[in-house]
């Protein structure tokens, strides 16, 4: 696994790997979307032609994918890559996806009545009910989402957790414990988190924000809204700001500043989350040769040799 925030240098490192030995499985919750390659910093067509990537550009912006669906597709890709005698590398920074891959999906039978009831609520009503039924699953100010704990503003997971809590009669802590105790996972994950330090990363992210605008972020957002409406894809990092600029609510300079701040805040949250994972080693920089050696050594006992 090669994790890290946007701008850390993952793409350059991966681009130099031998495509006959490695394939990439995206660990990015945003790059699953088609038509949004600029704002999600998805690999370009040249890299996609050179190195096989899985789970990049697989759904339209008006569609959604659950963590369980992601895990199922990722595990299929991992098996196929290994069957071809290659080494799979998870690349990205979606900690929630990695958590689900590591511990498995929730096995909670959802009550159809509960699903219908929750679907009629708005976010505030769901949040109030979840606070009543399982307040410990919501992080407090300054805390980071983690095992069985979510941010109150995460509308998707507030809805999902409420359905599970009401359907099972258990807290999310109990549901997570049950999941971890009952599943023997097929794959175990280890890897690097590429983090060049805050000062260097902040400079790269400022350049990345400017480059996104210069390379057509606004036109990408405009076309997406024209073709798919105010869809799920336009709610991800950077696109609400791009739409605000298109609508005249901010200028290009302010857009660049807002993009830089949003990516910086997201990178900080990623760093904090991955720092708590014992199977992740932080590195400031690495060459493709160093990473390839690490990956081959990691797979040394699997019968795959390069």
Q: 189 near 1, Cβ under 8 Å?
A: yes
Model confidence over 102-126: pLDDT tens digits? 877 666 788 889 999 998 999 999 9
What is the spatial order of strands in the sheet that 191-194 belongs to? 53-54, 22-27, 87-92, 2-3, 191-194, 280-283
pLDDT at 305: 46
Q: 241 near 255, Cβ under 8 Å?
A: yes
Model confidence over 21-50: pLDDT tens digits? 999 999 999 999 999 999 999 999 999 999
> What are the residues facing 158 on neighbouring strands?
none
**Which domains, and CATH codes, for the chain?**
2-104+185-201+268-302 (3.40.50.300), 112-182 (1.10.20)
pTM of the model: 0.79
Which residues in the chain land under pLDDT 50? 303-306
Q: What is the DSSP string of 57-87?
A: S-B-TT----HHHHHHHHHHHHHHHHHTT-E
Residue length of the chain: 306
Q: Which two tokens stand for residue 204?
A: 């790269």
């Amino acid at each position: 696994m090669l994790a890290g925030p946007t701008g850390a240098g993952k793409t350059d490192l991966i681009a130099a790997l031998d495509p006959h030995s490695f394939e990439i499985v995206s660990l990015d919750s945003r790059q699953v979307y088609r038509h949004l390659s600029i704002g999600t910093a998805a690999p370009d067509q040249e890299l996609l032609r050179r190195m096989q990537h899985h789970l990049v550009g697989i759904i339209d912006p008006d569609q959604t994918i659950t963590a369980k669906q992601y895990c199922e597709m990722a595990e299929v890709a991992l098996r196929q890559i290994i069957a071809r005698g290659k080494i799979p590398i998870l690349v990205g920074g979606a900690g929630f996806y990695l958590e689900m891959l590591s511990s498995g999906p929730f096995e909670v039978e959802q009550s159809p009545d509960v699903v219908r009831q929750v679907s009629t609520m708005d976010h505030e009503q769901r949040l109030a009910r979840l606070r009543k039924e399982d307040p410990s699953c919501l992080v407090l100010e300054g805390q980071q989402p983690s095992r069985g704990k979510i941010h109150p503003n995460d509308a998707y997971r507030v809805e999902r957790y409420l359905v599970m809590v009401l359907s099972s009669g258990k807290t999310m802590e109990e549901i997570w414990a049950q999941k971890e105790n009952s599943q023997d996972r097929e794959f175990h994950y280890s890897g690097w988190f590429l983090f060049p330090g805050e000062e260097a990363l902040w400079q790269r992210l400022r350049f990345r924000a400017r480059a996104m605008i210069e390379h057509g972020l606004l036109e990408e957002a405009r076309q997406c809204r024209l073709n798919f409406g105010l869809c799920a894809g336009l709610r991800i990092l950077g696109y609400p700001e791009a739409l605000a600029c298109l609508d005249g609510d901010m200028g290009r300079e302010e857009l660049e500043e807002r993009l830089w701040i949003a990516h910086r805040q997201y990178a900080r949250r990623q760093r904090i989350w991955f720092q708590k994972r014992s199977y992740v080693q932080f590195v400031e920089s690495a060459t493709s040769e160093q990473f390839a050696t690490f990956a081959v050594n990691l797979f040394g006992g699997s019968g795959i040799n390069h």
